Amino acid sequence: MSFCKKCGNQLNAGAQFCPRCGEPVSQPASDYQPTNFSQPVPTAPNKSKAPLFILIGIAAAVVLVIVLLLRGCGGAAYEKPVKVMLDTMISGKYDMKTAQKMVDQIPDPVIDAMIEDYGAYDTEREFVEELAGELEDMADDISEYNPSYKITGTKKMDSDDIETLEEQYSDYIDVDLKISEAYTIKVSLYSTEDGEENKEKAELNTIKVKGKWYLDYFSMNSIF
C-alpha cells in the first residue's frame, strides 16, 4: 500500500497520479535498462591500404628490373651478341678475356667445327690465344680509325629463313643446329680516316639455340 507524498491520500496499486491532488506518483527504480537501438554498433577501425599499394609497387619494380636484365642491359636480348662482338672489337683492349668473350658469341658446335677444319688447334683455348694475338696486332690500326657503330633496325626471320640458316650450317661445316628464333640486325659502321668520316652498312644475324642467343657465323663476313 502506498500514499501520496503530497496530500497523504491512499493510492491504488499502479496509480500514476494522486486522485485527490493530482500529484505524480514516483515509480520505483529498476535495474533494467532498455536497449537503445539508435546507438551505432562499434566496428573495428579500417586499416590503411597504403602498405598493400607499396608492396604492389615494389613487386612491379622488381619485375621491371628482371625484364631489363633479360633484354640485355637496355636492348633486346637478340641484339646482345652483336653488341658484345662489336664493343669488344672496337674497345682496343685485347687479351685472353676479351678474345674469349668474342668466341662465346658463337655456338660451341660451330667453334668446334672451325677448330677441326683449321687443323692448327687442338683445343678452344689455343684458338682463343691465336685470336687474342691477331687482335693485339690490329689494335693500333683499329684505334687510329676511331670506329663506332649504331644499330639501325631489326627484323625477325620467318621459318623459311631459319631453315635456310640451318641448311648452311649442315652443308658447309657439317653442324646440325636447331634454331628456334633468328633476327637480322642492321648496323651502321663508322670510322674516321684523314679527318673524314666514313660510313658503311652491314647486316648481322643472331640465332637462338637451346634458349641462348648467338651471333650467326656466316653473317660475320659482312664486318670482317
What is the rounded CA–CA span in Å between residue 173 and residue 120?
A: 16
CB atoms within 10 A of CB 145: 13
Cβ distance 78 to 162 under 8 Å? no
Please report the pLDDT score of residue 83 as a whole number. Answer: 92
Closest CA to 79 of 222, 219, 204: 204
Closest CA to 180 of 167, 163, 203: 163
Tell me the pLDDT band of 69, cut-offs 50, 70 and 90. Answer: very low
pLDDT for 158 beyond 80: yes
How much is the mean pLDDT over the chain?
77
What is the rounded CA–CA span in Å between residue 156 and residue 185?
A: 9
pLDDT for 178 beyond 80: yes
What is the rounded CA–CA span in Å between residue 100 and residue 11?
A: 117
Q: What is the mean pLDDT of residues 125-132?
A: 86
Cβ distance 182 to 203 under 8 Å? no
Tell me the pLDDT band of 183, cut-offs 50, 70 and 90. Answer: very high
Q: Which of 6-10, 28-32, 103-107 has the lowest mean pLDDT?
A: 28-32
What is the rounded CA–CA span in Å between residue 212 and residue 81?
A: 10
Give the Cα-Cα-Cα angle 11, 17, 21 (nearest 5 degrees).
85
The pTM of the full predicted model, rounded to 2 decimals, is 0.63
Q: Which CA distances in Å does 80 have to 34, 50, 72, 210? A: 80, 40, 6, 16
Q: Which fold has domain 77-222?
A: Nuclear Transport Factor 2; Chain: A, (3.10.450)
Torsion from C-alpha of 72, 165, 188, 91, nearest 10 degrees = 60
What is the rounded CA–CA span in Å between residue 102 and residue 81?
A: 9
> Which residues are paired to 205 by β-bridges?
184
User: Domain residues of the chain, as ranges?
Assistant: 77-222
What are 84's three cell numbers?
Answer: 658484345
What is the rounded CA–CA span in Å between residue 187 and residue 87?
A: 13
Coil vs helix vs strand at 28: coil
Please report the pLDDT score of residue 63 as a whole number. Answer: 44
Q: Which of 44-48, 76-80, 127-131, 198-202 has the lowest mean pLDDT?
A: 44-48
Selected residue with higher pLDDT from 166 and 145: 166
Please report the pLDDT score of residue 29 as a whole number. Answer: 45
